[in-house]
Amino acid sequence: MHSWGYCKNNGPHKWVELAPAARGLHQSPVNIDTTKIDKFHFRPLKFQYVPKNSKTILNNGHTVQVALDGSDSLLEGGPFPHRYRAAQFHFHWGMNNNMGSEHMVDGRYFAAELHIVHWNCELYSSIEEAVKSANGLAVLGAFIKPGKHHHEMEKLTSMLPKILYSGESAELKDGFDPASLLPKHTDYWTYSGSLTTPPCYESARFVIFKEPIQISEDQLNSFRQLRSHARDTSAPRDDEFGGKILQNYRPPNPLNDRKIVSSC
């Protein structure tokens, strides 16, 4: 799974070669067409995170990821039939502010998107088991657009120069609360889908918040400085991004027989 990426030679159109699940009919992300949305009164969506359990921030060559010790960081309610334990959160972005989010709304991208990934701790004993299984994953997604400086995001973006190259990580000495990156208004769309990166298993239900959060232009640009290769190596010659992570989002997939539902 290390041979995939977002360049012409290894991008999403090539993923089916190493991730057969990418051929499925319930792939993510999708375009959210707000003219074709059903509404439903879900139970209240509940999530809580333990900031001190967010210990490290990592450049894994594809994105920025913060690992979570999810023992007491849980998600339940809303469209989710079980209790889910937090595992990690990460980001997707583009080379400019007109692209970067994975999901689209009425055919329009946002500059970036946050995903907080949880696994079903009632049905499965590990995330490795859950990621391959029905009802295995629950993902909270938040759109990001340029605007005001985001104080909490600064705790992460200030660390990015320390993890400039793939494989580098840094300690979050004061921890981090991923809920601080979610919008105040938690109306959302939800649908069943897949991992948006290989192996693309169709085991995830997404909750995508309607209200985007704002971060500053400088904060957005700090993500675009990250490198997809290790410090002691050079970017591949066929990497049109020159070794920078300038575009790490998968284009939308057909909705097929699925329904996108809006919370009321």
Q: What is the pLDDT of residues 223-245, one digit of tens each?
A: 999 999 999 999 988 999 999 99
Whether 115 shows a pLDDT value over 90: the answer reads yes
Strands (E), the chain: 31-32, 38-40, 45-48, 54-59, 64-68, 74-77, 80-93, 104-105, 112-120, 137-146, 169-171, 188-193, 204-209, 213-215, 261-263
Among 52-56, 91-95, 191-195, 202-206, the minimum mean pLDDT is found in 52-56
* pLDDT value, residue 2: 53
Q: What is the pLDDT of residues 176-226, one digit of tens each?
A: 999 999 999 999 999 999 999 999 999 999 999 999 999 999 999 999 999
| Mean pLDDT value across residues 160-183 | 97
* pLDDT value, residue 3: 86
Beta partners for 116?
A: 89, 140
Are 190 and 205 spatial neighbours (Cβ–Cβ below 8 Å)? yes
pTM of the model: 0.97
Residues 6+ apart with CB under 8 A from 83: 74, 75, 76, 120, 121, 122
Q: What is the pLDDT of residues 116-137, one digit of tens each?
A: 999 999 999 999 999 999 999 9
Q: For residue 29, how many other CB atoms are within 10 A of its CB?
A: 24
| Mean pLDDT value across residues 247-259 | 98
3-class SS at 139?
A: strand
The token duo for 47 is 């999530």
Whether 9 shows a pLDDT value over 80: the answer reads yes
The residues annotated as belonging to the active site are: 62
User: Which residue from 32, 70, 49 is spatially nearest to 188, judged by alpha carbons?
Assistant: 32
Cα–Cα distance, 189 to 205 (Å, whole number): 11
Q: With b meaning 16 or more CB within 10 Å and e meaning fewer, what string describes 141-171?
A: bbbbebeeebeebebbbebbeebebbebbee
3-class SS at 125?
A: coil
User: Which residue from 20, 57, 4, 11 is spatially nearest to 194, judged by alpha carbons?
Assistant: 20
Q: What is the pLDDT of residues 28-47, one digit of tens each?
A: 999 999 999 999 999 999 99
Question: Measured at the alpha carbon of residue 161, what is the angle toward residues 158 and 163, in degrees to the nearest 5?
Answer: 110
pLDDT more than 70, % of the chain:
99
Sign of the dihedral defined by the CA atoms of residues 129, 132, 136, 139, in that order: positive
Q: With b meaning 16 or more CB within 10 Å and e meaning fewer, what string describes 63-79?
A: bbbbbbebeebbbbebb
* pLDDT value, residue 69: 83
Whether 105 shows a pLDDT value over 70: the answer reads yes
User: Which residue from 244, 242, 250 is spatially nearest to 227, judged by alpha carbons?
Assistant: 244
What average pLDDT does the structure give for the chain? 96
Whether 264 shows a pLDDT value over 50: the answer reads yes
Confidence band, pLDDT 50/70/90 cuts, at residue 1: very low
Whether 54 shows a pLDDT value over 70: the answer reads yes
Which residue segments constitute the domains of the chain, with CATH numbers given? 12-263 (3.10.200.10)
* pLDDT value, residue 70: 73
* pLDDT value, residue 84: 97
Whether 112 shows a pLDDT value over 80: the answer reads yes
* pLDDT value, residue 71: 81
pLDDT more than 90, % of the chain:
96
Three-state secondary structure readout of 20-81: HHHHCCCCCCCEECHHHCEEECCCCEEEECCHHHEEEEEECCCCEEEEECHHHCEEEECCEE
